Homo-oligomer: A and B are copies of this chain.
Amino acid sequence: MTAQGKLKVGVLGATGTVGQRFILQLSNHPEFELAVLGASASSAGRPYKEAVAGRWKQVHPIPDNVRDMPVTACEAENFKECTVVFSGLDSTPAGPIEAAFRAANLRVFSNAKNYRRDPLCPLVVPLVNPSHFDIIPHQQASMSPPLKQGYIITNANCSTTGVVVPLKALEDAFGPLDTVMVHTMQAISGSGYPGVSSMDILDNVVPYISGEEEKVEWETCKILGGLTDDKKAFDLHAASPLTVSAHCNRVPVIDGHLACISVRFAKQPAPSPEQVNEALRKYRCEAQELGCHSAPAQAITIHDEPDRPQPRLDREWQNGAGVNVGRVREDPVLDIKFISLVNNVMLGAATSSVLNAEIALKKGYLS
């Protein structure tokens, strides 16, 4: 803990796109103090501003208190004083590094995809299922040797995040969903930097994102499902089977994933559009009840104009920490259809990890 009573935290992959977002979120956080920046071995020992030169692509400059921080290699030894380690690593290095950090009794909050499907690792969208933290003791006990502190928490794929928040609100209000059809129009920032070639996306749509549809279809069930009673496994929405179909597309938008969603409820008759709007507007999540610093005031903002939400106009609302919904109406095939917008680089990435750590703090999982 620092002199100001803050908890020291570190960032893995600090020079990458997600790492840059972690730095902006954490450089002036009331509870966390950015203490260690990890990057590739080639950057180690250099000041951050040099390590990231030519790759800092944020609309805010590098925070003054970070510019000259030294970058270190992603080795657990260097992060031992960190209460939390945030991982913005690419998937190739993320697997072994995050495992090694956990084995060194470090708490890893990861944006990487590697452990999302792990049967011991929570996949937590902070506005939806922090209850999954309760598997942590079992995750720790299952390691060899068993761990006292270390664990891995993942957050969801950016496009899944914008889908599950309104779905959770609907399940809370109207019981389990039976069927979900999702059609995404995803921003280029979801692919990192340099990511999508301008030759591929200017005046164009790419109707394919490798592996994305499977992620949305699978992650939705893990997130919306609960834990088994013994808190040793995820039930994957088993009690009431949920079928999800996703079409994923890349569109020429900087930030903000838009999804067209159609749902059918298990319990009939289904609610009316007015009832759905009301339920979404009233939805409150545990992160709000706990008073977490990064939680949005309004989890789901309902837009009344027929052409909203739109990525460019609505993605920055509440600092990108909430979800925007509009056009709730009847679906001729399923029951209800609507539009959902999530800021993929905020709630869809770094904000989720940070908010998960804030929740973990409030719930006693950082002590």
Contact = CB atoms under 8 A, between A and B. Distances in A.
> What 4 pairs between A and B have smallest CB-CB spacing?
A194-B197, A183-B183, A247-B260, A208-B307
16 contacts: A57-B199, A59-B316, A181-B262, A183-B183, A183-B260, A193-B197, A196-B197, A202-B203, A202-B254, A202-B312, A203-B203, A203-B254, A207-B307, A207-B326, A243-B332, A252-B253
A71 to B, nearest CB: 19
Interface stretch (A95-103, A229-237, A333-341, A347-355): A333-341
A207 B251 contact: no
B249 A185 contact: yes
B202 A188 contact: yes
A238 interface: no
Contact of A260 (B200, B249, B253): B249
A183 B338 CA distance: 12
A244 B334 CA distance: 10
Contact of A247 (B60, B183, B201): B183
B195 A197 contact: yes
A200 B198 contact: yes
B313 A57 contact: yes
A327 to B, nearest CB: 7
A339 B206 CA distance: 11
A364 interface: no
Given A61-B317, A205-B253, A331 B245 contact: yes
